Amino acid sequence: MSAAPARERPGDPAYNFAYLDEQTKRMIRRGLLKAVAIPGYQVPFASREMPLPYGWGTGGIQVTASIIGPEDRLKVIDQGADDTTNAVSIRRFFHRVTEVETTEETADATVIQTRHRIPERDLTENQILVYQVPIPEPLRQLEPREAECRKIHAWQEYGVMHVGLYEDIARWGHIARTYDYPVMVGGRYLMAPSPIPKFDNPKMTKMAALQLFGAGREKRLYAIPPHTDVKSLDFEDHPFEVQKWDETCGLCGAEDSFLDEVILDDAGGHMYVCSDSDFCRHRRDAGHRGAMAGHEAVRVLTEQVS
Amino acid sequence: MSAPLLQVEALNQRFGRIEACRDIDFVMHPGEVIGIVGESGSGKTTLLKCLAGRQVPTSGRVLYDMRVKGPTDLYALSEPERRLLMRTDLGYVTQNPRDALRMGISAGGNVGERLMVNGARHYGAIRDTASDWLERVELDPGRIDDRPATYSGGMQQRLQIAKTLVVNPRLVFMDEPTGGLDVSVQARLLDLLRGLVRELGLSAVIVTHDLAVARLLADRLMVMRRGEVVEQGLTDQVLDDPHHPYTQLLVSSVLQP
């Protein structure tokens, strides 16, 4: 074969742009188009081997790889933070294979790949949120037969999903499920929102940004188009509620964000901080101070964060 | 006389060389309880599954008198329509309660599941109904949050019956509802079933190989042998004056204590 001069393209020359070959990206985009056309419906796709283990975000990075272009700005978060192992590795991976700009600023990013959180800041029409999904089938715990699950989805026989919620109330007096809380998308399909805390469920409804979900091991894609109705399941006498904290963020004093507990020493010392590190940094830059601000342990922590 | 609830016309079920049910015809009226007796392997359970919408017969029709549409062939309905019918109008009690119950879900959840599947979304109301039904089948409502795994076999069977009847089905199919239970538990369960059937005006098809169960519960009896109905008639008539040699053998085989 004659060696045609390689076209100038960004990224590691050993790989195609964004790692996946063009045919694979087209295949995934076709799946995504179908997913967007049928909100909440799980579209099967031929998931590829990716250079990281299943469970670390193989579905998410395949989706990101097929939609990202050289002009995009990528943000990757894991548990809300930009500086955790998974987030750092995936960000570095995409920088290597695409040379796109990466950012920690939620507002600046055009594509945000996430694991376990939705950013606190409202997203816009110009952004796409990509979720990493371990178990796309919301009925899996109740109905082990895949063929039966498909029938239940096809005919909307979703009543059985409430059995799990009933059990929670019977045992704990309230719906104790705190993450991967099942939702109805567009009044039609039951959907697992990936293991985000139920605190984030209300953000999914009528969100301006496009939400894409990729499950690599289970080989499923699904999507919520912008401004789509997403309703969390509940009972008439036990309405859906999100988590609440008595504490505020120790660093920025936020009262309305999702908080993580951080252990400070071996003597039971602990504090609560925003799980969304970008949100917390912005608040601190704007002059908000939490109860622990200026504390020695916190100084070390914030220096690492920002 | 009211229109028949169930009409079976020339029903055949083959599994390869095996003819499990051959040319079965019968009519069932609302409020009737029909017993199907016969030796094991005679096609009783297969026939029951065909009647209940759980097994597509090789040929023949099963006409069920639907509330709106009137008599309709179960197998001419689309699958979602048939499934809807099966979870609202029809009930099915299996021989082994562990096949029908969710063992990891509490007793109340098991009974309530049928309500939730049919659209109930009020926790308090679901729980009250479930608790009421536990009482009706003589289970302690105080154990509503216990898992069926902690129940005895007889209690599990009663729980299954509560789960089946909670949605007020019109027609219930029972496959050996007292099989595998000890005699005293059987007697209480039969008493309970008889009471519920009469009280709710249920129609039922009960498969059994126990003639005592048939005599106690069934108005009419069908005797099956090798996939065919060899004799049918009023229960007392069939049991007291059997005509077919096989029925005579069956009746004379009952042990007298």
Question: Strand order in A230-232's β-sheet?
Answer: A189-191, A183-185, A230-232
> Is A69's pLDDT higher than 90?
yes
Q: Which of A5-9, A226-230, A289-293, B237-241 has the lowest mean pLDDT?
A: A5-9
Better-predicted residue by pLDDT, A131 or A13: A131
Global pTM value: 0.88
Average pLDDT, chain A: 92
Q: What angle do CA B18, B20, B25 make, to 5 degrees?
A: 140
Angle (CA) B168-B173-B177 rounded to 5° is 105
Among B83, B102, B109, select the one facing A170 at the smallest CB separation: B109
pLDDT, position A1: 45
Q: Is B8:B173 a contact under the CB 8 Å cutoff?
A: no
| Known catalytic membership, residue A40 | yes
Nearest to A288 by CA among A231, A249, A236, A256: A249
Residue type, A139: L
Tell me the pLDDT band of A304, cut-offs 50, 70 and 90: low
Q: If you average pLDDT over residues B196-224, what whole number do you get?
A: 89
**pLDDT at residue B202 above 60?**
yes
d(CA A225, CA A237) in angstroms, rounded, equals 30
Among candidate residues A40, A59, A80, A216, the one labeled active-site is A40
How far apart CA B81 and CA B84 sit, in angstroms, is 5
Nearest chain A residue (CA) to B143 = A170
Facing residues of B12 across strands? B59
Range A284-304 average pLDDT:
78
User: Which residues of chain B have a Cβ shorter than 8 Å from any chain A Cβ?
Assistant: 79-80, 83, 102, 105-106, 108-109, 112-113, 116-124, 126-127, 144-145
Q: Which residues in chain A have their CB less than 8 angstroms from residue B167's CB? A: none
**Measured between alpha carbons, how far is A41 from A39 in angstroms, rounded to an integer?**
6
Q: Across the interface, which of A154, A163, A237 has its CB nearest the CB of B122? A: A237
Q: Count of alpha carbons within 13 Å of B184, Cβ hemisphere only? A: 0
Q: Mind telling me how many Å the CA of B124 is from chain A's nearest CA?
A: 7
Please indicate whether residue A280 is annotated as part of the active site. yes
Give the pLDDT score at A302.
64
Whose structure tokens read 């509620």? Answer: A241
Residues in chain B within 8 Å Cβ distance of A159: 113, 116-120
Strand, coil or helix: what is A81?
Answer: strand
- The string of DSSP codes covering A116-161 is S---SSPP-TT-EEEEE-S---TTTTT---HHHHHHHHHTT-GGGH
What are the helix (H) ranges across chain A?
22-37, 58-67, 85-98, 146-154, 161-172, 201-204, 277-285, 296-305
* Chain centroid, CA B191 distance in Å: 16
Residue at A292: amino acid letter: M
* Subunit contact B105:A155, Cβ cutoff 8 A: no
| DSSP 3-state of B114 | helix
At residue A46, the pLDDT reads: 96
- The residue of B123, B129, B167 whose CB has the most chain A CBs within 10 angstroms, and thus the best one to mutate to test that interface, is B123
pLDDT score, position A120: 95
Q: Mean pLDDT over all residues of chain B?
A: 91
Q: Which residues of A touch B105 (CB under 8 A)?
A: 163, 167
Q: Nearest 5 degrees, angle CA B89-CA B161-CA B196? A: 80
* CA atoms of A133 and A127, how far apart (whole Å): 19
| pLDDT of B189 | 82
Q: Which of A57, A59, A80, A249 is catalytic?
A: A249
Please tell me the predicted confidence (pLDDT) of residue B1. 56
ipTM of the complex: 0.86
Categorize the per-residue pLDDT at A7 as very low, low, confident or very high, splitting at 50, 70 and 90. low
Residues A241-283: pLDDT tens digits?
A: 999 999 999 999 999 999 999 888 889 888 999 999 999 999 9
Per DSSP, A266 falls in state: T
- Rounded distance between C-alpha atoms, residue B140 and residue A19, angstroms: 62
State which H helix or E strand residue B45 sits in. helix B44-51
Rounded mean pLDDT, A191-203:
95
pLDDT of residue A231: 96
CB A96 within 8 A of CB A12: yes
Mean pLDDT across the stretch A108-119? 96
pLDDT confidence of B211, banded at 50, 70, 90?
Answer: confident
Segment among A91-105, A145-159, B80-94, B198-212 with least mean pLDDT: B198-212
A149 is catalytic: no
- pLDDT, residue B191, reads 85
For residues B54-77, average pLDDT: 93
Judge: B109–A163 Cβ closer than 8 Å, yes or no.
yes
